[in-house]
A and B are shown apart, each in its own frame.
Chain A
């Protein structure tokens, strides 16, 4: 574990340069980012892309329902309180599955299906199994790798039985924090016993890769609160951890107005929390993945990170190598090598269009050659911490990079740009130097740390 120890020591050397984190930058779950999406594609771009798809394909299925809405959450979701709303949405989703599947050529193979939301366990187990059945049938997917996002508050024995029977091997729990007063502050109350029981149920159901989503930078959160949540997570045996900084943007996410902004940690405290979180998890034996994920050494995500095959997609860091990701459900984004395109976000319009057997993806952007080259550099910097930079890009990006080079956060190695371990918290900012769309509008994004 020399590597881990070295990295832990280096993490303690993270230095806070407020001026280098001053400009908010995207998370780069795609490049170009969703902020660059426009309405000029027309409905045929998506259909053409489907008809030309080949090889391995991953599916993302969006279930925009939760039993309760948490105040911090920026996801496209609503309360699953009306049977009619849920069944109407699921009807539309079933139609969409049929329409998309019949466009795919024979050579395209669905190898992964991820269910996210919202909370997929906000719908009934029967409805969920029917959805899996429709996907298996329409996409001829007899044995894909299945993953699911789960809300511990609505995790019951019938769901565990379904997860086992359906053969879901990967699950992600929205934990955020174990501290009761912080759970109150963000409108997500779930006692530690509930998270423990959910973990036990999922292990019993055969889930062998379990992720906990956690947050720092919550209102009133202390370093001790964060450490406690991270230790509990490690002791519960989470295979993967995503440690996100809470982004308080009430002008964009109206729900967040319920959160008391006075108690929010400041930028320096946020930086210290990110650094301490990294240090604690590495000391606990986790492999750091990109800039905000961690995984146990045996987990597929850690293996991908160690072998240099880590990728970035709309769900964060991933070991998924599929060149095509098809998003199903309202607001889902599909990614093809030359196209990014998003489904209708409004669930009412999504349902209406599908009731007329029309696919809803029309907002997006074509990925030009230049976008793909820049995107490859950005992805490599975020996933591998190094990227080969073409001379033309280098010339353009160097003035932006200079402060990071001067601070010793990255350096040139031949044709490569390398982010040094101390530079990790600046990775998004360094990657942003290659983002041609970057301008004043980037104030809309959250801080990198």
Chain B
């Protein structure tokens, strides 16, 4: 059973358009599921029997090409919606990169619910548009030639998506911003289509140039936002 009252993404997620009574109905058809890194939510090619809200953690979205390569098509974060309600094939699978908590619905239940709630259907359209935006940015990122452009774009995306909602960091105050990466160096390399050596070399270079500081393997402190934007091209 999901408990919407305690949900930490409640005011950002797709269900934020619903009133208390509607939430109660949604609560009854959803369930919370915790995932370990590497665990998959939806298998590619199967009917999209599940739709889900991300409550905590980070998941990668990926497809497999015919020759067996994995193509990462996006990364989802807390309050993102995963799945394809209203039919259609999923197109991609979702695999947890970190420990994750998701709120899961069967597609049939969710569809029936959404049809009766135009506000939710509208939110779903907004999410689908956001998904398109995410796809385009991702394609642009992967289409970039150099490793430095890829990594800088990726760090900027991380910074934006992991930032608490509505909070804009003011770099002009000279403040720096710490992000805890949900990825290992190897995972970043996989996602960006680079080797782990290249990723490590680029991190070291950004550190030497004073753009970031790296207090630990997972923590990144963004020191010079403008320089990172310039680097991203």
Q: Residues of A at under 8 Å CB distance from B?
A: 87, 90-91, 94-95, 98, 102, 124-127, 129-130, 132-134, 136-137, 140-143, 158, 162, 165-166
For B131, list chain A residues within 8 Å (CB): 129, 133
A158 to B139, CA, bound (A): 26
Kindly report which residue of chain B lies nearest to residue A102, judged by CB atoms.
B66
Q: Is A133 in contact with B132, judged by CB distance below 8 angstroms? A: yes
Whole-angstrom CA separation of A442 from B128 in the bound complex: 47
Pick the contact of B86: A126, A158, A165 (CB < 8 A). Answer: A126
- In whole angstroms, how far apart are the Cα atoms of A360 and B139 in the complex? 28
List 14 additional A-B contacts (Cβ < 8 Å) besides A87-B86, A94-B91, A126-B125. Answer: A87-B88, A127-B86, A127-B88, A132-B132, A133-B131, A133-B132, A133-B135, A136-B132, A137-B91, A140-B143, A143-B136, A158-B122, A166-B129, A166-B132
- In the complex, are the beta carbons of A165 and B129 less than 8 A apart? yes
Q: How far is the CA of A130 from the CA of B89 in the complex (A)?
A: 11
Can you list, as one digit per residue, whether each of B125-164 has a CB less than 8 Å from chain A (1) or not (0)?
Answer: 1001101100111011011000000000000000000000
Bound-state Cα–Cα, A137 to B134, Å: 10
Indicate if B35 sits at the interface (CB-CB under 8 A). Answer: no
Question: B70-97 interface mask toward A, CB cutoff 8 Å, 1 = contact, 0 = none?
Answer: 0001000000000010111101000000
B73, B131, B139, B142: residue with the most chain A Cβ atoms closer than 10 Å: B139
Judge whether B124 is part of the interface by a CB distance below 8 angstroms: yes
Q: State in angstroms the CA–CA spacing of A102 and B91 once bound together.
A: 14
Q: Is the Cβ of B139 less than 8 Å from the Cβ of A162?
A: no
Q: A158 vs B129: C-alpha distance in the bound complex, in angstroms?
A: 12
CB distance from B64 to the nearest CB of A (A): 10
- Is the pair A137, B87 in contact by a Cβ cutoff of 8 Å? no
Chain A residues, CB < 8 A from B65: 102
* Inter-subunit contact B88/A125 (CB<8 Å): no
Query: B129 contacts which chain A residues (CB < 8 A)?
Result: 129, 162, 165-166
* Bound: A185/B124 CA distance, A: 40
CA distance A94 to B90 in the complex (A): 10
**Is there an interface contact between B87 and A91, defined as CB atoms closer than 8 Å?**
yes
B88 touches A91 (CB 8 A): yes
- Within 8 Å CB of A94, what residues of B? 88-89, 91
Residue count of chain B within 8 Å CB distance of chain A: 25
Which residue in chain A gives the minimum CB-CB distance to B137?
A142
The distance in angstroms between the C-alpha atoms of A415 and B124, with both chains bound, is: 61
Give 10 CB contacts A-B under 8 Å: A90-B87, A124-B86, A127-B88, A130-B128, A133-B128, A136-B132, A136-B136, A137-B63, A140-B143, A142-B139
Give Cα A95–Cα B122 distance, bound, in whole angstroms.
Answer: 26
Taking CB atoms and an 8 Å cut-off, the chain B residues in 25-62 that contact chain A are none
- Specify which chain B residues have a CB less than 8 angstroms from the CB of A98 in the assembled complex: 91
Contact A136 B128 (CB under 8 A): no
Q: How far is the CA of A166 from the CA of B135 in the complex (A)?
A: 12
Q: A132–B125 Cα gap in the complex (Å)?
A: 13
A162 to B126, CA, bound (A): 9
Q: Which residues of B contact A (CB under 8 A)?
A: 63, 65-66, 73, 84, 86-89, 91, 121-122, 124-125, 128-129, 131-132, 135-137, 139-140, 142-143
A140 contact from B63, B66, B124, B142, Cβ within 8 A: B142
Q: Give the top 10 A-B pairs by smallest Cβ distance, nearest first.
A: A142-B139, A87-B87, A133-B132, A129-B128, A142-B140, A165-B129, A136-B135, A142-B136, A140-B139, A102-B66
User: Are B88 and A130 in contact (CB-based, < 8 A)?
Assistant: yes
Q: In the docked arrangement, what's the CA distance between A134 and B88, Å?
A: 11
Taken together as a complex, chains A and B put the C-alpha atoms of A133 and B122 apart, in Å, by: 17
Contacts of A165 in B (CB 8 A): 129, 132
Q: In the complex, which of the residues B63, B91, B143 contacts A142, with contact meaning CB atoms closer than 8 Å?
A: B143
**Whole-angstrom distance from the CB of B156 to the nearest CB of chain A?**
16
Distance (Å) between the CB of A133 and the closest chain B CB?
4
Closest B residue to A99 by CB, please name it.
B66
CA A403 to CA B136, docked complex, whole Å:
56
Closest CB in chain B relative to A160 CB, distance in Å: 13
B201 → A minimal CB distance (Å) = 25
Given A127-B86, A132-B132: A141 and B91 interface contact (C-beta under 8 Å): no
The one of B89, B135, B140 in contact with A91, judged by C-beta atoms closer than 8 angstroms, is B89
Q: How far is the CB of B227 from chain A (nearest CB, A)?
A: 24
Most B Cβ at <10 Å: residue of A102, A125, A137, A140: A137
Whole-angstrom distance from the CB of A201 to the nearest CB of chain B?
17
Name the CB-closest residue of B to A97. Answer: B91
Q: A134 with B91: in contact, given A140-B139, A141-B139, A142-B136 (CB under 8 Å)?
A: yes
Q: How many angstroms from the CA of A166 to the CA of B84 in the assembled complex?
A: 18
Contacts of B132 in A (CB 8 A): 129, 132-133, 136, 165-166
Report the separation of the CA atoms of residues A141 and B121 in the bound assembly, to the nearest whole angstrom: 27
The distance in angstroms between the C-alpha atoms of A94 and B84, with both chains bound, is 13
Residues of B within 8 A of A132 (CB): 132
- Select from chain B the residue with minimum beta-carbon distance to A109: B143
Q: How far is the CA of A131 from the CA of B181 in the complex (A)?
A: 32
Contact B140 A125 (CB under 8 A): no
A237–B90 alpha-carbon span in the complex (Å): 42
Q: How far is the CB of A137 from chain B (nearest CB, A)?
A: 5
